[in-house]
């Protein structure tokens, strides 16, 4: 069994702070089935779409620094202007990298990444407001560039080829070779794996390349949900996730949860397992969706104010 799903289930079954509501899972699956919700398609407005070799390198850069978009207390969120639109969060990151690449910034070049400075990186991003963990993002890109040069002749597509068309193996490769992708934690003396951004890279390749060529993975259906802070916010809103009182108060009052703490691990593990249970319930109803497709649906719902009744949990981490 895929270690991410296996350990998520183990944590969910032992959780003390987060509970799953099985009836809410059934209700949500019924809603998805009845309303015939459309799976979001790959969006080339925000994402670079060019030569496949460059697209792969772009996505690897994007997913290497795709974390922590909320500002520190009292500061405005980071925003950019792109084609007369104000963007923030993930969309701002995707668009700022796309804009930089199209204007000639060679950040798909491994040597450039290995030597990228903090000052240069800030210029690439641009925009206004507070984007936390900038230094960590630069270190992640330096590490990525060095690894690609050392092991894959500087080519991101060669890393993808090394996975032998296995999405799970690609995620494991990233976690094995790059510290910034080693997304795991300890829970009650045992390891729990998440591999959020590593799995997301495989899913993004699949989406951007339409499941063909370097975007084809024979085990793409085994990817889990990508445990971040937006999905549990939506799952809590629809009643699938329930927090015990002290955790609910912490989340609702923007109290930081320490990375790797039992509460934070439980939120992430239950998010993954909840999506798996939704997937299974949909399958019973004759609707065969991948866990990652349910993830995309939930994440897009989370962009609407209706699903933001409660805030998302705050954890300062490079993993999501």
Q: What is the pLDDT along the chain (320 residues), one digit of tens a residue?
A: 799 999 999 999 999 999 999 999 999 999 999 988 889 899 999 999 999 999 999 999 999 999 999 999 999 999 999 999 999 999 999 999 999 999 999 999 999 999 999 999 999 999 999 999 999 999 999 999 999 999 999 999 999 999 999 999 999 999 999 999 999 999 999 999 999 999 999 999 999 999 999 999 999 999 999 999 999 999 999 999 999 999 999 999 999 999 999 999 999 999 999 999 999 999 999 999 999 999 999 999 999 999 999 999 999 999 99
Q: Is 228 a catalytic residue?
A: yes
Between helices 118-125 and 89-102, what is the axis angle to 10°? 100
Strand-pairing partners, residue 192, are 185
Cβ 230 vs Cβ 308: under 8 Å: no
Encoded tokens for 44? 């080339």
Of the listed 228, 252, 295, 305, which one is catalytic?
228
The torsion region of residue 243 among left (phi > 0), alpha (psi -120 to 50) and beta comes to beta
């Amino acid at each position: 069994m895929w270690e991410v799903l296996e350990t998520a289930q183990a944590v969910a079954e032992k959780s003390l702070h987060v509970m799953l509501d099985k009836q809410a899972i059934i209700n949500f699956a019924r809603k998805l089935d009845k309303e015939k919700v459309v799976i979001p398609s790959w969006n080339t407005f925000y994402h670079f779409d060019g030569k496949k070799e460059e697209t792969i390198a772009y996505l690897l850069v994007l997913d290497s620094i795709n974390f922590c978009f909320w500002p520190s207390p009292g500061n405005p969120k980071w925003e950019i202007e792109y084609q007369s639109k104000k963007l923030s969060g993930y969309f701002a990151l995707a668009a700022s990298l796309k804009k930089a690449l199209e204007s000639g910034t060679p950040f798909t070049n491994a040597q450039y990444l290995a030597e990228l400075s903090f000052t240069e990186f800030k210029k690439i991003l641009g925009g206004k407001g507070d984007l936390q963990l900038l230094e960590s993002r630069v270190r992640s890109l330096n590490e990525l560039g060095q690894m690609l040069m050392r092991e894959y002749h500087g080519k991101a597509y060669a890393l993808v080829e090394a996975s032998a068309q296995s999405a799970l193996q690609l995620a494991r490769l990233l976690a094995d070779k790059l510290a910034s992708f080693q997304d795991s934690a300890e829970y009650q003396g045992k390891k729990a794996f998440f591999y959020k951004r590593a799995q997301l890279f495989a899913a993004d390749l699949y989406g951007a390349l339409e499941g063909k060529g370097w975007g084809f993975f024979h085990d793409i259906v085994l990817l889990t949900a990508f445990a971040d802070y937006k999905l549990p916010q939506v799952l809590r809103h629809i009643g699938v996730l329930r927090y015990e009182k002290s955790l609910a108060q912490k989340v609702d009052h923007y109290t930081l949860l320490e990375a790797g703490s039992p509460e934070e691990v439980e939120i992430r593990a239950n998010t993954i397992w909840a999506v798996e249970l939704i997937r299974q319930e949909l399958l019973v109803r004759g609707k065969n969706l991948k866990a990652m497709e349910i993830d995309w649906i939930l994440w897009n719902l989370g962009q609407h104010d209706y699903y933001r009744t409660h805030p998302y949990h705050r954890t300062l981490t490079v993993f999501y």
